[in-house]
Amino acid sequence: MTPIISARGLTKRYGRTTAVDHIDLEIPPGKIVGLIGPNGAGKTSALKAILGLATFEGDLSVLGKNPSRDRASLMEDVCFIADVAVLPRWARVWQLIDVTEKLHSGFSRETCMEYLSQTKITQDHKVKQLSKGMVAQLHLALVMAIDAKLLVLDEPTLGLDILYRKQFYSSLLNDYFDEERTILITTHQVEEVEHILTDLVFIQDGKIALESSMEEVERRYLELMVRPEQAERARSLNPLYERELFGRHIFLYDSVDREQLSGLGEIHTPSVADLFVATMKGGQS
Give the confidence band of 285 by pLDDT, cuts at 50, 70, 90.
very low
CA distances to 71, 222, 229, 284 from 232, rounded to whole Å, are: 56, 17, 7, 22
Any idea where the domains of the chain sit in the sequence?
Answer: 5-205, 216-280
Residue range 11-26: mean pLDDT, rounded: 95
User: 71-125, pLDDT tens digit by residue?
Assistant: 989 988 998 887 655 788 999 999 999 999 998 888 999 999 998 998 899 999 9
Does pLDDT of 239 surpass 50? yes
> What is the per-residue pLDDT for 213?
95
User: 183-222, pLDDT tens digit by residue?
Assistant: 999 987 788 889 899 999 999 999 999 999 999 999 999 9
> What is the per-residue pLDDT for 83?
62
- The most confident of the ranges 80-94, 137-151, 263-277 is 263-277
> What is the per-residue pLDDT for 150?
94
User: 38-60, pLDDT tens digit by residue?
Assistant: 888 999 999 999 999 999 999 99
Higher-confidence residue of 248 and 157: namely 248
> What is the per-residue pLDDT for 85?
55
Looking at domain 5-205, its CATH superfamily turns out to be: P-loop containing nucleotide triphosphate hydrolases (3.40.50.300)
Does pLDDT of 227 surpass 80? yes
% of the chain surpassing 90 pLDDT: 65
Higher-confidence residue of 161 and 208: namely 208
The domain 216-280 is placed in CATH, from the list 3.50.50, 1.25.10, 3.30.70, 1.20.58, at 3.30.70
Residue range 122-141: mean pLDDT, rounded: 90
Give the confidence band of 284 by pLDDT, cuts at 50, 70, 90.
very low
> What is the per-residue pLDDT for 177?
84
> What is the per-residue pLDDT for 161?
82
Does pLDDT of 158 surpass 80? no
